[in-house]
Amino acid sequence: MSLKTIWPRQLRVISQSPCLRGEQSLPGAETILRQYLEPSKKNIVEMARLNKWSILAALSLACSATVTAQTGASRQAAMDRDLLEVTIPKLEKMYAAHKYTVTQVVEWYLARIAKYNGIYRAVQTVDAKGALAAAAEEDAAAKKAGPGFQRGPMWGVPIVFKANTSVKGLITTDGWKGYLIPGHELVAPRDATIVAKLRAAGVVILGQTNMPDFAASDTNRSTAFGRTGNAYDVRFSPGGSSGGTVTAVTANFALLGTGTDTGNSIRMPASTSAVIGVLPTRGLVSIAGIAPLDWLRDNTGPIARDVTDAAIALSVMAGEDPLDFRTAGSAEKAQAGPYTQYLKADALQGKRFGVPAFIVKDAPSASGSLRPETRAMFLKAIEGLRSAGAVVVFDDSILPDSFPALTRAVSTQPYRRDGTEMFLKEFGPAGYHSAAEYEKAVGSPLPATIIGGQPSGGGAATGAEAGGPQRPSGQQVALKTDPNADANFFAPQQKALAAYNEPFDRLHLDGLVYPAAQMPPPDETMPQDGRISGGPHSNTGWVNSIGIPAIVVSGGFYPDGLPFGLELSTRQWKDGDLLGWAYAYEQATHYRRPPVLVEKGLLPDAK
């Protein structure tokens, strides 16, 4: 005897359940049914004690769990397909079609951070509570407004900021453990200007990214959070000092991020991670609210996976700000936004790009000579420019060996403390608003790296020969009141800028093109030249000395699978043109591909 003869009608009903048919079958339901269909005496006796419909109830619960689990898995797979590598325009279309809520999208990114951040350590501070609250507010506003709801240009876009950028209520660590001392944390009293602008445009802030102490390194190790690994191979360096942001963006921990750049720190990391890194003309975007390294050279810009997203973000970030004197008059000087209007597939047609002679020379420099494998990648990458209709000019007179000396003459080191004092005055925590007040509160001074004097060690690793940030030393003065400000800074900057512009006029150039780094990303599990890696290094710090715009695009991949970045620069205030050229190159080459992430660490936390 079996249950088939006792309960034929009930079993016919059970057998028609979708849980037990085809692809929707679940082992749990099958196990229950199989157990009670077996013609054992024990099962028959147990079933006799039950109401004949009890087994139906048990199977119904199992089937319900089956459908729920499968629906959840299907929904997750769909979100993964939709959101991995999503762009701002695509995300906004999904919101408009009510495919996803902002909360659902933010939860997807937070889950991805939770899954992988322990390995790559890109995001130092995850503000899940704040992000979900902001997402819920946006969802509620959209629901209340109905079909006529007007979204901002970056509405619902999950974003991360570098840890030196003030986000109200979060600790501006600047990568340094000294701003994390319990009771003396540098909690931002308000948003930095770019944060306020992006927040007003609708972004949702996921958190802040790891960076080396004070942004003074070409790799991404900090005393505040440890080491960030390259998303394409965690053993390798993502570069610094915006290595946390480039890793977060390329790994899809956020749709977009921001970086800062004093001597290469947006551009060189972008080159290691197949992302777009934008260094705007100095003065196009305010740096107010960003903890400075060398404020007369510091700059900030977006980091994105494609040029369109970068252009959208830069359009929001740009604008004059009374807290940053370099932005005065920028509206009249700059090309008009929004910058998406310059993004045309034929933008490179007929354009002429020169190659700086001192960067591609064979002779060694403070940042290292151009590695053979990097030279090979560069020569291959510029073929993409040519195929898109551009002309590439090699000429020894384009930024010759004498050029870096002109940019080194732009002296910013006497004013380093000036920048730190201005930052703490406006964006310091309740406990201190100056370097002196910090020392009094904590019992130790701020490091010389950011207030001048002789540093105990470290300093920016960009290399003075390349016109990179100088190590602070000597007497510190305020720029506004220094009678030598013109001789130290303004006049040498104009002289170096004139030297940069000269080949543009003589050779009818539109821009320059060169490798964003002198070398591939180094393996940080192995000593480089007998010591732990401090790189990769670049020869591009001169860009900051003269305040011109530059952008890095993906220029392909080395044979080992690590990215190579191509850098373009042009005259001041031609940011729209620059984005247009980058877009045309991107469309012609399509080099970008996302990294394949690992879930188990390959390297212990290297501090």
Using one digit for the tens of pLDDT, what is the confidence trace for 379-403?
Answer: 999 999 999 999 999 999 999 999 9
Q: What pLDDT does residue 453 have?
A: 77
Q: What pLDDT does residue 1 have?
A: 45
List b or e across 324-357, with b for residues whose CB sees 16 or more CB atoms inside 10 angstroms: bebbeebeeebbebebbebbeeebbeebebbbbb
Q: C-alpha 370: how far from its chain's center?
A: 25
**DSSP-derived secondary structure for 318-361:** BS--TT-GGGTTHHHHSPPS-GGGG--TTTTTT-EEEE-HHHH-
Active site residue 480: no
Active site residue 369: no
Q: Is 143 helix (H, G, I), strand (E, B) or coil?
A: helix
| C-beta separation of 536 from 236 below 8 A | no
- Read off the DSSP letter of residue 228: P
The tens digit of pLDDT for each residue in 593-605 reads 999 999 987 655 5
Q: What pLDDT does residue 546 have?
A: 98
| C-beta separation of 272 from 517 below 8 A | yes
Nearby residues of 148 by Cβ (< 8 Å), 6 or more positions away: none
Q: Is 95 helix (H, G, I), strand (E, B) or coil?
A: helix
The separation between the first and the last C-alpha atoms of the chain, rounded to the nearest angstrom, is: 71
* Token couple for 274: 């197949």
* Token couple for 84: 């991995």
Q: What pLDDT does residue 361 have?
A: 84
Phi then psi for residue 553, to 5 deg, are: -120, 160
The CA dihedral of 109, 117, 520, 410, to the nearest 10 degrees, is 80
| C-beta separation of 439 from 446 below 8 A | yes
Which is it for strands 221-222 and 226-227: parallel, antiparallel or unpaired? Answer: antiparallel
Single-letter amino acid code for the residue at 46: E
Nearby residues of 489 by Cβ (< 8 Å), 6 or more positions away: 296, 410, 411, 412, 415, 479
The rounded radius of gyration (Å) of the Cα atoms in the chain is: 28
Nearby residues of 180 by Cβ (< 8 Å), 6 or more positions away: 171, 173, 224
List b or e across 382-394, with b for residues whose CB sees 16 or more CB atoms inside 10 angstroms: bebbeebebeebe
CA atoms of 204 and 198, how far apart (whole Å): 9
Q: What pLDDT does residue 60 have?
A: 59
Q: What pLDDT does residue 602 have?
A: 61
| Positive or negative: CA dihedral 299, 300, 303, 308 | negative
- Residue from 211, 207, 233 nearest 221 by CA: 211
Active site residue 162: yes
List b or e across 541-558, with b for residues whose CB sees 16 or more CB atoms inside 10 angstroms: bbbbbbbbbbbbbbbbbe
CA atoms of 258 and 260, how far apart (whole Å): 7
- Residue from 267, 272, 352 nearest 310 by CA: 267
Residues in the chain, overall count? 607
Which residues does the chain have with pLDDT short of 50? 1-4, 6-7, 11, 14, 17-18, 20-30, 32-34, 36-37, 39-42, 44-45, 47-48, 455-466, 470-471, 606-607
* Token couple for 181: 């001392």
Nearby residues of 218 by Cβ (< 8 Å), 6 or more positions away: 239, 240, 241, 264, 268, 461, 462, 534, 535, 536, 537, 538
CA atoms of 564 and 477, how far apart (whole Å): 40
Q: What pLDDT does residue 532 have?
A: 77
Element (H, E) at 404: helix 403-408
Q: Is 165 helix (H, G, I), strand (E, B) or coil?
A: strand
The tens digit of pLDDT for each residue in 109-147 reads 999 999 999 999 999 999 999 999 999 999 999 999 999
Helix H, strand E, coil C: the string for 551-601 is EEEEEEECCCCCEEEEEEECCCCCHHHHHHHHHHHHHHHCCCCCCCCCCCC
- Residue from 291, 241, 211 nearest 461 by CA: 241
Catalytic-role residue among 166, 222, 237, 265: 265
| C-beta separation of 548 from 356 below 8 A | no
Q: Is 120 helix (H, G, I), strand (E, B) or coil?
A: helix
Q: What percent of the chain has pLDDT over 70?
A: 83
Nearby residues of 251 by Cβ (< 8 Å), 6 or more positions away: 112, 116, 120, 122, 231, 594, 595, 597
CATH number of 88-143+153-416+481-589: 3.90.1300.10
Catalytic-role residue among 166, 241, 271, 569: 241
Mark out the alpha helices in 53-97 (DSSP H runs). Answer: 54-83, 88-96
